[in-house]
Structure 1
């Protein structure tokens, strides 16, 4: 949030709506501290009952809410700092406890289901300290088929009004031709895995982009005109194409393409599902690109929804409350922004998106379905599955309709040498659109990443290096034990196969290990240790080169940076995941528009997608991502259409630690999207591979270098 003094830039903060408190907030914090100790003790004793899991989740929920309330709505700075420290300590205990039990770790996910028992316990805990809980929405609609849990359903009044006065929204199947029976040559073949592997095995020089029509001149308003690559997608929609995986590199204007494709296809009413950080911006873009259309943004229970709007914009986090009326509303199009958010098909948000798309297809003949993401592949090639299923190209087990027909027409099977190239082209022709900046927007200045090594010579730095040595010794001991117990003969030098197996076992055990450092906790500690140094460098850049975007993965690193900027008298905006959309947008606007706001302190997960921060050309990456895709997304908040200066991303690397090793691996293994989508010959690696390779390198070095 924007800071004058501590947390403002001139934009007024809107306090969250909460019931008046009749007890001091310390009472709740004390209760949370006691409760988390009880959970911790139960986990240590291996007595994790359903009641313990419920209490763990409730503590996590209340810590988040209280952290937001204290940070945004408490005027006394000393008291606020004290409470935030106590809440952060509780949060740390939650995280450390969750590492010991994967079931608890899942409860920390943003899309974790909140059970009725958890809601009841939460209300009970609040009342025990004199806080009256805010009333919750009562479910009014039966759970939709295929949902993973009962939906906390609400139906906004204006939506009911629209349904009463617009009976034409009822589905009309009269124009749907009956499916023609066909003999399936490939009926007995397993096809989904070969289709995915076809993208892994793409030959060099084989980019992934469907044939698009020639662009027609399209001036939206007096001073706003589409670029040729954008106009091609709109022309394809106008020509009747209805499914798109719009995977242009970040910064090439996918929002405008989607809105104008919907206009060309007359796909109204249109549902747009987006990350919360960009839903206000989507409403603004509607006004810029399709000013003749009305947009409504769904907040919370949807009390302010305009049921007669052409475009309904909702964020993933509240989708579960609205899928009931969404499914019956009569949408003729659906856009999913940052579609890689649905890659985990077991998550609630992914299942809701897939179910809604299925229901829209069941009511509308050839609806417009668009998945927007500059990084469709983050972890591995299977990230395609949920997106393809959303678009209706496949289901859980096989290709569908158009794709199956196209595969049949190739005359090939997975046993034939030419199948993979032909199958890849069949998928691309269904609607994959991938363009690179270098090819379609050559006027965007270059970008580069520069590493800045920093020395951690203080007590914390020495502790980190000692912890890394302990981890290496543990790996060596594990290796030597395995070597002594195996039955095969001796191996000259280091057994590289065994090294990789030991690293895999260590990575697998990380989630349940009760003591000792692991690769994840070490990277977290390194991020905390270099936070102040990264902030100092960002401050120097802001004074000498203008506006700076500062990215961090963890809240505590952002807090340290903001304290540094405050002490140095530098005004900044804070863009975090726990802000209200209105508050977050004010902070974004302040950074973009106010020349006195020098730095945007951004959460990598909350601000790494969808934002336009091209007012800055210098980016500081205070912590490393596990994937090149996540790092690229952050850099492309500034490196996008409209940028006039070369963009430099300054990556702060802790020298002589695992940090530098991880940085090298990320750079080396950045080829997933490049091979699958851009026709590169680079190797395909995932984030799990990077973690594994870091342990392999650590163990190999320890076996090669004699102990000091």
Structure 2
């Protein structure tokens, strides 16, 4: 902007001849006021853009508080007033007058207030105050314990408003004004605006008697004019325009149906936002796996470079990635569903950002496709499948060696990979690492050899121990032999505290209940039925023959609903789920049982009308086709059933679309059932997960549950809590599956008096 006005005083000295002419100072008036107005507009616009994330966060926080208070109020309105008895201090208080007055719940007492209680006959004012103090204490307790979960089946207006607020916060949280930090420009404009406003006003200049102040005003006005005319402000105006457009779109709230559809498509993202705005981060010690303070601090202070990640990490996930980087050779034993894959990807991305080029992932064939998808979906790294026929695999392996990236291979293919391959593996990740617990197995030896060649090795397993704790020693031995040696205590005593201290450098475990506050509950039901008719005859025949496998599936022998009590109950459960428009996964060990279930559910006579059946998903199906089945199941509108072999569908697949799980028969290894259930009950699940175990009374099912009781207890004590609970390392040995089968068959033959 050109300005010709002059505010110089007659007394100011003239310029010496030859000095460069100065820019013409600005006079107070309309032009000067326009400059100040423009400067203030740019300044305020930048401030508004910078403040938008916090403002939208506060809106989301208020929406969260409304939903939380609604839940708290509902809980208190159901809570009998007698619950306050233990909280009232002082002399004994009789609650009968309060209840007789209709204030029979804690919520009613809070609504009445001290004045309302004081008007109740036989309730003195001092007593009313004590009752009221107890009621507020109870409210605080409920408020601390209540879990706010977004319920897609309820869809209350308050929850819809919460989703809308979270969506708005998500869209404004990242810097919407791209490029250089605009706060510095806002500060610069802010410094000039005050004095420049004085220099733009004739009246204010006349009232300014100090010559220095008048000059400061002139200088500020000139500097403001120069700043507004600069290239940086010209660029900032364009960025401001785009940012304001983004904010305007973020303010628009879609229809409720679209909001809920977006939530169901991206529940993990929404629940991460909910945790943030609600201040629901898990307890620090739980998120750090209750590691010793010195190790936890070393891990915590490592700056994690997430520039190559496309997805945000939860706090406990970032800690897990740091743990793998700091300790270098470790087992990540998080409970299934907590995102172990994501944590390993974060560790690889950190190393790649620092210059590392080659990474190796070893996993079961069934999850190669899933690993490839996860690398492409969550990172900027290149995924390379080193798997398949010989020539194709060798070509992929050579390409990986030459150009780098994340090589994804199987345990079997790893054995064929030459050890002299000219690569430096920055990190080796072994998924489902409990597959290499047998030191005599060829795949175990191959993993051990490659692990010895890699500086950093990360084992992923939610079930590090199934039969014996010595198996855990094998896993540790691949990584840190010196730690494994310390687990071999000569006197056979290794209590929980000493165990945690010993394995802390190599083992990190977190449980769902400790770190996933948004995870819906899991309800387990044992569905007991009785063998009868043809199924009973088939069962007796199997016991007589000592055929353990036939005993386990005798309840499905005829293959008809009428003759099979388990099938009848299964169809009933699927029907109830279909009525609630819920999706079901049926797991069984046996393929013929899966075929029977598929046939029955799809039949016009015995099936469930309107339910779409996918499967059977078995071990013979390729990993690509398995994922395609899960995708079909997930995409189905309305009720659907996925019928799956428990070993094939219970590993590596994410089936959060299902909220009902049916286990056709008890499994001999508790972790197999846990893995299968965790396919649905994991991060991203938005509904309560109902688990139905189909069991026959007076049968092999009862014997399996009895003999595995100790085994499940050992699994819970060790695998869940990283704690042996005063057990010796080998005290939890429940024997091999062959021995279990023999004992169960013998027990049933004795019960039925069969030779």
Q: TM-score range by the shorter chain?
A: 0.5 to 0.7
Deviation, 1:655, is: 2.3
Deviation, 1:323, is: 2.1
CA RMSD of aligned residues (A): 3.6
| CA–CA distance in structure 2, aligned partners of residues 453 and 422 of structure 1 | 40
- Give the equivalent residue in structure 1 for 2:346: 260
Q: Is the 8 A contact 1:562 1:601 kept in 2?
A: yes
- Give the equivalent residue in structure 2 for 1:117: none
Q: Is the 8 A contact 1:551 1:620 kept in 2?
A: yes
Q: Is the 8 A contact 2:499 2:724 kept in 1?
A: no
1:664 and 1:450, CA in 2 relative to 1: closer, same or farther beyond 3 A?
farther
What CA deviation, in whole Å up to 9, does each residue of 1:307-335 have, x standing for no partner?
32410111234333x32268543322211
Within the candidate set 687, 701, 722, 1:659 is matched to: 701
Question: How do residues 303-318 of structure 1 correspond to structure 2 at under 5 angstroms?
Answer: 303=392, 305=396, 306-307=399-400, 308-318=403-413
Q: Is the 8 A contact 2:594 2:644 kept in 1?
A: yes
Deviation, 1:590, is: 1.1
- Give the equivalent residue in structure 1 for 2:735: 688
What CA deviation, in whole Å up to 9, does each residue of 1:273-332 have, x standing for no partner?
111221111111112322244443522326162432410111234333x32268543322
Within the candidate set 502, 505, 508, 1:430 is matched to: 505
- Give the equivalent residue in structure 2 for 1:517: 546
Deviation, 1:420, is: 6.3
1:327 and 1:374, CA in 2 relative to 1: closer, same or farther beyond 3 A?
farther
| CA–CA distance in structure 1, aligned partners of residues 542 and 552 of structure 2 | 11
| CA–CA distance in structure 1, aligned partners of residues 425 and 686 of structure 2 | 39
Q: Whose Rg is larger?
A: 2
| CA–CA distance in structure 2, aligned partners of residues 587 and 707 of structure 1 | 44
| CA–CA distance in structure 1, aligned partners of residues 621 and 691 of structure 2 | 26
| CA–CA distance in structure 1, aligned partners of residues 310 and 613 of structure 2 | 32
| CA–CA distance in structure 2, aligned partners of residues 662 and 418 of structure 1 | 29
Question: How do residues 448-597 of structure 1 correspond to structure 2 at under 5 angstroms?
Answer: 448-465=523-540, 467-468=542-543, 470=544, 516-526=545-555, 528=557, 532-533=567-568, 535-537=570-572, 539-545=574-580, 546-567=582-603, 568=607, 570-574=611-615, 575-595=617-637
SS of alignment partner, residue 658 of structure 2: coil
Q: Is the 8 A contact 1:444 1:644 kept in 2?
A: yes
Work out the number of aligned pairs and report it.
436
Deviation, 1:573, is: 2.4
Task: Give ranges in structure 1 of 5+ residues lacking alignment.
Answer: 1-205, 362-366, 471-515
TM-score under structure 1 normalisation?
0.55
| CA–CA distance in structure 1, aligned partners of residues 521 and 726 of structure 2 | 21
- Give the equivalent residue in structure 1 for 2:474: 386
What CA deviation, in whole Å up to 9, does each residue of 1:555-600 have, x standing for no partner?
1111111212332364222222111222222112111223257111
Deviation, 1:554, is: 1.5
1:302 and 1:282, CA in 2 relative to 1: closer, same or farther beyond 3 A?
farther
- Give the equivalent residue in structure 1 for 2:683: 641
What CA deviation, in whole Å up to 9, does each residue of 1:183-212 have, x standing for no partner?
xxxxxxxxxxxxxxxxxxxxxxx9875643
| CA–CA distance in structure 1, aligned partners of residues 593 and 420 of structure 2 | 39
Question: How do residues 271-282 of structure 1 correspond to structure 2 at under 5 angstroms?
Answer: 271-282=360-371
- Give the equivalent residue in structure 2 for 1:441: 516
TM-score under structure 2 normalisation?
0.52
| CA–CA distance in structure 1, aligned partners of residues 387 and 414 of structure 2 | 9
Within the candidate set 634, 641, 650, 1:599 is matched to: 641
| CA–CA distance in structure 2, aligned partners of residues 413 and 663 of structure 1 | 31
What CA deviation, in whole Å up to 9, does each residue of 1:415-459 have, x standing for no partner?
689976786345423220111111111221121321112233132
- Give the equivalent residue in structure 1 for 2:379: 290
| CA–CA distance in structure 2, aligned partners of residues 660 and 519 of structure 1 | 13
Question: How do residues 153-232 of structure 1 correspond to structure 2 at under 5 angstroms?
Answer: 209=291, 211-212=295-296, 213-214=299-300, 224-232=311-319
Deviation, 1:605, is: 1.1
What CA deviation, in whole Å up to 9, does each residue of 1:611-634 have, x standing for no partner?
111111100101221021111111
Q: Is the 8 A contact 1:251 1:640 kept in 2?
A: yes
Q: Does 1:333 find its partner at 2:362?
A: no
Q: Does 1:243 find its partner at 2:329?
A: yes
Q: Is the 8 A contact 2:654 2:680 kept in 1?
A: yes
Residues 567-576 or 581-590, more deviating: 567-576
SS of alignment partner, residue 224 of structure 1: coil
Deviation, 1:701, is: 8.6
SS of alignment partner, residue 504 of structure 2: helix
Identify which of structures 1 and 2 has the higher relative contact order when contacts are C-alpha pairs closer than 8 Å and 6+ apart.
1
- Give the equivalent residue in structure 2 for 1:627: 669
SS of alignment partner, residue 648 of structure 2: helix
Structure with the bigger percentage of helix: 2
Question: How do residues 111-122 of structure 1 correspond to structure 2 at under 5 angstroms?
Answer: none
| CA–CA distance in structure 1, aligned partners of residues 307 and 567 of structure 2 | 46
Q: Is the 8 A contact 1:608 1:634 kept in 2?
A: yes
Deviation, 1:645, is: 1.3
| CA–CA distance in structure 1, aligned partners of residues 516 and 340 of structure 2 | 13
SS of alignment partner, residue 611 of structure 1: coil
Q: Does 1:270 find its partner at 2:312?
A: no
Deviation, 1:689, is: 7.0
Q: Does 1:348 find its partner at 2:442?
A: yes
Task: Give ranges in structure 2 of 5+ residues lacking alignment.
Answer: 1-287, 559-563
1:353 and 1:414, CA in 2 relative to 1: closer, same or farther beyond 3 A?
closer
Deviation, 1:218, is: 7.7
> Runs of 4 or more off by more than 4 Å in structure 1?
206-210, 215-223, 325-328, 412-423, 526-531, 680-687, 689-708
Residues 598-607 or 565-574, more deviating: 565-574
- Give the equivalent residue in structure 1 for 2:414: 319
SS of alignment partner, residue 341 of structure 1: helix
Deviation, 1:641, is: 0.8
Q: Is the 8 A contact 2:585 2:662 kept in 1?
A: yes
Q: Is the 8 A contact 1:553 1:603 kept in 2?
A: yes
Deviation, 1:234, is: 1.9
Deviation, 1:541, is: 4.2
| CA–CA distance in structure 2, aligned partners of residues 703 and 554 of structure 1 | 26
Deviation, 1:270, is: 0.9
SS of alignment partner, residue 642 of structure 1: coil
